[in-house]
Amino acid sequence: MRRLINTFVAQQHRGRVLIGVDDAHLLDGLSAHVVHQLASTRGARLVVTVRTGADEPDAVTALWKDELLTRLDLEPLSAAATRCLIETSVGGPVDARSAERFWKLTGGNALFLRQLVADQIAAGRMRQVAGCGCGTTTSQCRRASATCWVDGCVG
């Protein structure tokens, strides 16, 4: 373990090392300890995610309790942000009714939203339709298009 940590520390002279640890609540104790040591020695820059409500190893909890990393709790997406994220994901406008339905079904959870949109497209239940009357999107997401994405079956 010490050799692994020292390897990352030694790489610092070449530029900053960035390590992403997704679902850190699933780490075993030894792996969590390595992540903690990397944070405490500044051996690497870290981005660590933990699912809300999950039990994580003590070494992961200590990352923000010991102020080694800044904790950022993600709030649920608003209806407008949900629509914007869907539109960014599919590369075009989404009709307002579909966006509202996705927001209600996911409760604004970005992970659930991403999975739901991908599943609906893969199943052929969300598709691009010409002249569907998408309505006005938020200014950040507005796209000039004669087509938009609609969801025919969810909810």
pLDDT one-digit tens code per residue, 90-119: 888 888 888 999 999 999 999 899 999 888
Domain boundary among 41, 65, 89: 65
Is the pTM higher than 0.75? no
Please give the Cα distance from 112 to 3 (Å, whole number): 38
β 45-48/18-21 pair status = parallel
Asked whether residue 113 is domain-assigned, the answer is yes
* pLDDT at residue 154, rounded to an integer: 46
User: Domains in the chain: how many in total?
Assistant: 2
When pLDDT is averaged across residues 43-54 and rounded to a whole number, the result is 88
Q: Which domain holds residue 56?
A: 2-65
Asked whether residue 109 is domain-assigned, the answer is yes
Asked if residue 16 and residue 42 are part of one domain, the reply reads yes
Q: How far is CA 28 from CA 25, 31, 33, 94, 145, in A?
A: 8, 5, 9, 41, 49
When pLDDT is averaged across residues 2-11 and rounded to a whole number, the result is 71
